A and B are shown apart, each in its own frame.
Chain A
Amino acid sequence: MREEMVVASSLSVTFEQHKVLDGVSFKVGEGEVFALLGGNGAGKSTALKSFLGTVTPSGGSASVMGLSVASQIDVIRQKVAYLPESVMLYGHLTGVENIEYFLSLAGITSAKDKIESALKRVALQQDAWYRSLSNYSKGMRQKTAIALALLREAPVLFLDEPTSGLDPSAIDEFNQLITTLASEGSTIFMVSHDVYGACQIAHRIGLLDKGKIVGMFEREGDNPIDTEAVHASFSKRNG
């Protein structure tokens, strides 16, 4: 049995009397890629934010690596990495400076060559490493953020719509990278509305609709999850 890294137990979130999440439960094991799919307003980002402690659940509980989000969020934040939908980082800093800065905030001092090798690993072109991030494309910014997560040696990665706005080749590169990270033991929790992309890399997919898990799909062996089945279920609920 793989260790449970991300757990939601009857998780509910209410905003102004509107239930955004309604008793959601799931578990994500170590080295697993779990994708939460859903249309706009399904509650995907709220579910993700519940694990980062930026929204407060009205019911149920969330835990990461066995630590309760409600009471140990500061410890959790030191152990996980988060990639927002739009990875901005700092435009006034270079890629290397961004990583140096955020690592220093996490209390990690990393040598330049270590940072450079992380950037190489995420396939960020070398001539961009010391360029201001304001000139980076979304894919390049995302790679920089993933390099940061690698250097932090975060066992759990939370990704918010990671492929939105990426070109097809960048999506392929990203998928490859996520697969590699998972095979090395990283746990990936991502929310997305990209059915095809999620099916390619996820071990399991949870389908979220109106704040409830309405479907769970699992990879069989090494085969990707059946896109058609997920798509049919997704389309049924999202027109």
Chain B
Amino acid sequence: MSVIKQIMWDEWRYWQRTRLAITVIITGVVLIVASVIVNAIGIQHAKHEREHLQHAAESRFAEQPDRHPHRMVHYGHYVFRTPSPLSIIEPGVDSFTGTSIFLEGHRQNTAMFADQRQSSGLTRFSSLAPSFLVQVLAPLFIVLVGYASITREKEAGTLNIMMTQGVSKRHVLTGKLFALLGAGLLLLLPMILASLWASFRGESSLVTGSYIVGYLLYILVWSGVVLGVSALSHKSSASFAGLIGLWVVLCILVPRIGSSTAAALEPSPGKLEADFAVLEELRKLGDGHNASDPAFEQLKSNLLAQYGVETVEELPINFRGTVAQYSEKKLTDVLNDFAEIRMQEELSQAQIARHFGWLSPAVAIRSFSMIVAGTSLETHHRFLREAETLRFEFVQSLNKVHQDKLDYQVDMNRSKSAETSKAARVDASNWSVLSSFSFVPEAGGVRLVQGGTYGVQLLFWFGVVVLFLNLAMRRMSE
């Protein structure tokens, strides 16, 4: 053990005295620390702002004066997605998908205010997330620090001298691996501290623990890859070229190929095309604002029969409110069907892209990171579904108020004069039908189960690297 420790410490001493490696490590750490701080401040600010806006939107809705209930259906309401604690490290799809939705009757609006949509080209660099830095740049830093770990000893002839001191290849590789892991851990340290902080801010300890273990595995995999290639190479230049090539393939090309393959295998229609398809279906349902629309004849007949009356005027309920409820239900079913199809398409694409985690550890850690942090596509879909549930509930509650608390005749005469319009209002206390909205990602255990496959991908890469290091040890020339 002490031999391994000696080799590890000497590697650090070499990095420190040659300055290049230590400069690379310090640069990486500073970059990640800065990114963690900037993101943490940004996310905390966004969290408070969205919580405040959510509260303000709910108060504004509740404070509306007496009105016709259907005006409130169109007055609408906003819901905001508060970021998960771990999004200070992993913003995931949040910065692309939008954080707020305007809810109103008869429509399912898309989420708005995505950071990436609002930023111009250059300012996007300011949003370098810690997760991106660790997933993509940390391996590059490890390559820069460790590509010559073994080749340097071969070129200088010191590997032979080490061997003749009774040091085995296993000792050399293990000592160098620990040194490289130490450098990787330094790069990871800001993220580990941020994860602990997320735990302190309410994230489950099991989640943050697993999250840290996932990234440790990732750093271990890259340290092993770098060391193995260095052990198998005869010259530092060959090791460097090989590792840079591997980094480009594993961190840049495979993730891109994964996304392109997913889009090719699971093509989804454009937004315009999808909107036209929805409109075509909705047209068949009739206009819920018009109680005389032939589409509601059956509803009318059924109601008249149910109450044993001849005309809608004789009904004990406001037929317009009933039509609005009926129409909203039918319309929501159609919208939900389309929304589910779209979400399934997006999810299928994401899952195809995630399968590329078997080909690249960078894809594996990205999938694991987003899912466990609660910033994945699944979490965004959960937000859309919860927002839609709220929309449907408050719209239907208002439609019920319309049906039960507003007289049909008064309603029909609402446009005749200022007085009739005023009479066709309901009391503002009815606006309390709106439930408060607070979005939280799935429970930690659920996220860990969802991310399990990608944790297995990381373990697979760990296994591959162990085998690779064994091979490198056997074939390592002196």
Contacts and interface: CB of A to CB of B under 8 A. Distances in A.
Contact of A88 (B3, B7, B157, B164): B157
Contacts, number: 68
Contacts of B272: none
Interface centre among B3, B7, B158, B161 (most CB of A within 10 A): B161
Interface in A58-89: 74, 77-78, 80-82, 84, 86-89
A107 interface: yes
A136 interface: no
B143 to A, nearest CB: 21
B17 A92 contact: yes
A89 B161 contact: yes
A104 B175 CA distance: 14
Contacts of A90: 10, 14, 156, 158
Contacts of A158: 164
B245 to A, nearest CB: 28
A216 interface: no
A107 B161 contact: no
Nearest to A152: B165
A128 interface: no
Contact of B167 (A84, A91, A105): A105
B160 interface: yes
Contact of B158 (A88, A103, A152): A88
B169 to A, nearest CB: 11
Contacts of A164: none
A74 B165 CA distance: 9
A82 B159 CA distance: 12
A122 interface: no
Given A74-B168, A90-B156, A105-B7, A82 B17 contact: no
A101 interface: yes
Given A54-B478, A107-B3, A102 B165 contact: yes
A35 interface: no
Nearest to A53: B163
A104 B167 CA distance: 10
A52 B160 contact: yes
Contacts of A82: 160-161, 164
B34 interface: no
B75 to A, nearest CB: 72
Nearest to A158: B164
Interface string A160-186: 000000000000000000000000000
Nearest to A86: B157
Interface residues of B, number: 22
A74 B168 CA distance: 8
Contacts of B163: 52-54, 77
A20 to B, nearest CB: 16
B166 A78 contact: yes
Nearest to B152: A90
Interface string B455-478: 000000000000000000000001
B260 interface: no
Contacts of A52: 160, 163-164
Nearest to A54: B478
A93 B6 CA distance: 14
A106 interface: yes
B156 A77 contact: no
A107 B6 CA distance: 10
Contacts of B166: 74, 77-78, 105-107
A158 B13 CA distance: 29
Nearest to A106: B165
A54 B162 contact: no
Contacts of A105: 3, 6-7, 162, 165-167
Contacts of A74: 166, 168
Contacts of B157: 84, 86-88
Nearest to A97: B13
B2 interface: yes
Contacts of A152: 165
Contacts of A86: 157
A105 B7 CA distance: 8
A74 B164 CA distance: 9
Contacts of B120: none
A103 B166 CA distance: 10
Contact of B161 (A91, A92, A93, A102): A102
Given A74-B166, A106-B166, A93 B160 contact: no
Contacts of B165: 77-78, 102-103, 105-106, 152
Contacts of A91: 156
B18 interface: yes
Interface string B430-447: 000000000000000000
Nearest to B19: A92
B259 to A, nearest CB: 44
A88 B6 contact: no
Interface string B1-24: 011001100100110011000000
Contacts of B160: 52, 54, 82, 84
A55 to B, nearest CB: 10
Contacts of B161: 82, 84, 89, 102, 145
Interface in B74-133: none
A233 B256 CA distance: 68
B156 A88 contact: yes
B4 to A, nearest CB: 10
A84 B14 CA distance: 22
Given A102-B165, A105-B165, A106-B165, A89 B158 contact: yes
Contacts of B6: 101, 104-105
Interface string A16-45: 000000000000000000000000000000
B6 to A, nearest CB: 5
A84 B478 CA distance: 12
Given A88-B157, A92-B13, 17 more contacts: A54-B160, A54-B163, A74-B168, A77-B165, A78-B165, A81-B164, A82-B160, A89-B158, A90-B10, A92-B17, A92-B18, A101-B10, A102-B162, A104-B2, A105-B7, A107-B3, A158-B164
24 contacts: A53-B163, A54-B478, A74-B168, A77-B163, A77-B167, A82-B160, A82-B161, A82-B164, A84-B157, A84-B160, A84-B161, A87-B157, A88-B157, A89-B156, A89-B158, A90-B156, A92-B14, A93-B17, A101-B6, A102-B161, A102-B162, A104-B3, A105-B165, A106-B165
